Amino acid sequence: MQADITTDTQQPTQAKPPRKRFVGRTTASSSRPSSTSSTATPVVAAAALQPHKEVDPLLQAAIEHLLPHNYNFEIPKSVAQILRTGAVRVALQMPEGLAMYGCAIVDILERFTPAECVIMGDVTYGACCIDDYTARALGCDMMIHYGHSCLVPVDTTTIKTLYVFVEIGVDRAHLAATVRLNFPHCIHPAASAGQGSAKGKGPDLEIAIEPPREGGAGCRSGGGCGGGCSCSSSSKGACTSNKPAAAQPSPSPSPAGSPSGARPTKLAVVGTIQFVAAVQGLKADLEAEEAVLAQRLAIEAAPQPDADAAAGSVGREEEEGERRTTERFEVVVPQVKPLSPGEILGCTAPKLAPDTDALLYVGDGRFHLESIMIQNPSVPAFRYDPYTKRLTRELYDHAEMREVRGAAVAQARDSLLENRGKDEADKEAWAVVLGTLGRQGNLRVLKSVTRHLDAPPATTTSSTSTSLIPSPPAAPTPRASSTPFIPILLSELSPAKLSLLRGISTFVQTSCPRLSIDWGYAFPRPLLSPYEAAVALGVQGARGWKAMGPEAHTRGLEQGRKGDEDYPMDFYADGGLGEWTPRFGMGRQRRGAEEGRPVPRRKRAQAVPVA
């Protein structure tokens, strides 16, 4: 059966997700689509970014007919790998957003290779959900994972694995023009200081999405306003310009990145793996655009031979002065290993420098963006959607999140104190859930939690008075009593599923920290992440986080808040804070070699029998 799929480049319509807490966003004001030049800037196809190789014309024709041109599924590379390895059955795993192209990919691979393809239909939330165990159980000798980076190394999977990032082409010229037009004018000190309501709603921001057209294009009134107005056909020649405030010069003191400031605007740019190429190329794009703007200014400043032409040039200069900017930028692409530079996950994000002026996320949705917002609560965050080409100011209610998670940790600590005065038969048990969805579950993290439950360390009084989670009083005995626990294997967690388990006071899930952060309030009993469990058990190195209401947060910014008082998002980072992370200690190097990384089974030393 041949699949006939149109090459629609827009994002497919999805069902409206359920309401989530801690979310606040200010949408940009509407403006008419236009560009800085008379010629339209085409979208750069992702396939064009790859080096040109000899490809079968029939294979290339099938790719162009069945798959979108700006999605790089690396079909020629997949075909070559299947033929080289001689794979007989290949498993294809992809997230739901790419499932619509699954049948087309199967048709292409089975047409140009002798292998049989199997689509794995289980839900795939991220790179941690790679399911090589199930693929091997199905008799597959090769697996192709789409849409995520190599979080699980290929030398540790049970079968041959090929990662396809599915790089998506982005209009990089539009991204650079949007950044140059809006920054740093759209960075409001009040919003960056965390002042907002309980649900994270901040002051309304008017952000220019695209620069106005030249020569009055798009103005229905014919008044030559530049196209950035809201004129209608009933204006009768009168231009009622309503240009965005972000594109206008602000009379307030300029930020550090303005020409009168001491330094350029420091902008940290991140994104998902699909848009990493655009993220890493934004610095060069801004530098190239800065050179073009400087050349335009030099040409327009030249003397005009005609007086009428000079007068017209002055009028155009006054008209274009609002949308032209010569701001200088220092673009930083942060990295947290083992991820690529600029890449972030929903549970892993880098810690930005204290002098970062703003954060720009390139991608759709908020899941990945919220991780770096939690890691850096004092940095103003913006999101550029490459599908709609809109720039929005994103907010997050850090105070409510920390209070909710702090209450869950405090409730878990209370259960530990109550168990000290009970007999072993009357103690309430903890449940440690090992995720079985792909490779979400980690035995190292599970053993770390259960080891401290079996023999928890002696608790001491916290030395930080501003901590949201005060330490319980010291135990009367030198060695604290153990807490009974029950290991549970579960692929997906839900309040209805966990409510069936009686006699359990606290759940600790090792699948994903965002399950506890985003949905922990919906569970009747505390649902802790491994880090929160370490804080509740008083594990050394688990410092907890600082209480942060609106007033306390503003005061902390003024006094210079320490970075270690923020809620960490380093679950898959090599430099994790403690043993509650799966890759703790793997990034430490000695004499140029990496330590802590598990040796693949096929490379381990074999015991030689002695004669």
Domain identity same for 94 and 161: yes
Q: Which residues pair with 396 in a beta bridge?
A: 23
Domain identity same for 383 and 522: no
Q: Please, which residues have CB within 8 angstroms of residue 549's CB and are 6 or more apart in sequence?
A: 399
Backbone φ, ψ for residue 404 (5° rounding): -65, -45
Cβ contact 597:606 at 8 Å:
no
> 136, 168, 200: which is the final residue of a domain?
168
Q: Is residue 604 part of a domain?
A: no
Domain identity same for 407 and 543: yes
How far is it, in rounded angstroms, from Cα 270 to Cα 265? 16
Q: Is residue 532 part of a domain?
A: yes
Q: Please, which residues have CB within 8 angstroms of residue 39's CB and are 6 or more apart in sequence?
A: none
Confidence (pLDDT) at 148: 92
Neighbours of 440 (CB within 10 A): 22
How far is it, in rounded angstroms, from Cα 33 to Cα 210? 6
239, pLDDT greater than 90:
no
Domain identity same for 411 and 556: yes
Q: Is residue 13 part of a domain?
A: no
pLDDT tens per residue across span 388-413: 999 999 999 998 999 999 999 999 99
pLDDT tens per residue across span 432-458: 999 999 898 888 899 989 998 887 554
Domain identity same for 84 and 180: no
- 3-state SS assignment for residue 369: helix
375, pLDDT greater than 70:
yes
Cβ contact 7:67 at 8 Å:
yes
Q: Is residue 130 part of a domain?
A: yes
Confidence (pLDDT) at 210: 46
Domain identity same for 370 and 420: no
85, pLDDT greater than 50:
yes
- The candidate with the shortest Cα–Cα distance to 507, out of 522, 486, 492, 491, is 486
How far is it, in rounded angstroms, from Cα 68 to Cα 194? 41
**CA atoms within 13 Å, Cβ hemisphere of 449:** 30
Confidence (pLDDT) at 563: 46
- pTM confidence score: 0.72
Q: Please, which residues have CB within 8 angstroms of residue 553's CB and are 6 or more apart in sequence?
A: 193, 194, 377, 398, 399
> 333, 366, 396: which is the final residue of a domain?
396
Q: Please, which residues have CB within 8 angstroms of residue 6's CB and are 6 or more apart in sequence?
A: none
Domain identity same for 479 and 507: yes
116, pLDDT greater than 90:
yes
- First CA to last CA across the chain, in angstroms? 60
- The candidate with the shortest Cα–Cα distance to 151, out of 512, 439, 515, 514, is 439
Cβ contact 363:272 at 8 Å:
yes
How far is it, in rounded angstroms, from Cα 256 to Cα 266? 9
CATH number, domain of 367, equals 3.40.50.11850
- Total number of domains in the chain: 3
How far is it, in rounded angstroms, from Cα 152 to Cα 208? 40
Supply 554's token pair.
């503003």
Q: Are strands 381-385 and 390-396 parallel, antiparallel or unpaired?
A: antiparallel
Confidence (pLDDT) at 291: 62
Domain identity same for 59 and 144: yes
Worst-scoring range by mean pLDDT, 56-65, 442-451, 479-488? 479-488
Q: Is residue 524 part of a domain?
A: yes
In the chain, pLDDT over 70 holds for what percent of residues? 61
CATH number, domain of 535, equals 3.40.50.11860
Cβ contact 445:433 at 8 Å:
no
- 3-state SS assignment for residue 145: strand
Please say whether the dihedral angle defined by the alpha carbons of residues 82, 83, 85 and 90, taken in this order, is positive or negative: positive
CATH number, domain of 103, equals 3.40.50.11840
Q: Is residue 225 part of a domain?
A: no
333, pLDDT greater than 70:
yes
Q: Position of tokens 């994000």?
A: 349
Cβ contact 366:17 at 8 Å:
no
Confidence (pLDDT) at 260: 46
Domain identity same for 422 and 495: yes
Domain identity same for 194 and 326: yes
> 346, 371, 396: which is the final residue of a domain?
396
Please work out, in degrees rounded to the nearest 5, the angle formed at the alpha carbon of residue 241 by the alpha carbons of 239 and 244.
165
Mean pLDDT of 305-327: 52
Supply 298's token pair.
């030099």
Please work out, in degrees rounded to the nearest 5, the angle formed at the alpha carbon of residue 63 by the alpha carbons of 61 and 64.
65
530, pLDDT greater than 70:
yes
Confidence (pLDDT) at 113: 93
Q: Is residue 100 part of a domain?
A: yes
pLDDT tens per residue across span 565-582: 788 998 998 877 888 888
Q: For residue 348, what is the DSSP state?
A: B
Q: Which domain holds residue 144?
A: 45-168
Q: Is residue 37 part of a domain?
A: no
- The candidate with the shortest Cα–Cα distance to 598, out of 444, 458, 478, 467, is 444
Confidence (pLDDT) at 123: 87
- The candidate with the shortest Cα–Cα distance to 172, out of 38, 323, 340, 43, is 43
- The candidate with the shortest Cα–Cα distance to 175, out of 207, 209, 206, 220, is 209
How far is it, in rounded angstroms, from Cα 348 to Cα 584? 13
Domain identity same for 391 and 425: no
How far is it, in rounded angstroms, from Cα 521 to Cα 41? 46
41, pLDDT greater than 80:
no
Confidence (pLDDT) at 262: 56
564, pLDDT greater than 80:
no
Domain identity same for 272 and 384: yes
**CA atoms within 13 Å, Cβ hemisphere of 421:** 4
- The candidate with the shortest Cα–Cα distance to 22, out of 345, 395, 352, is 395
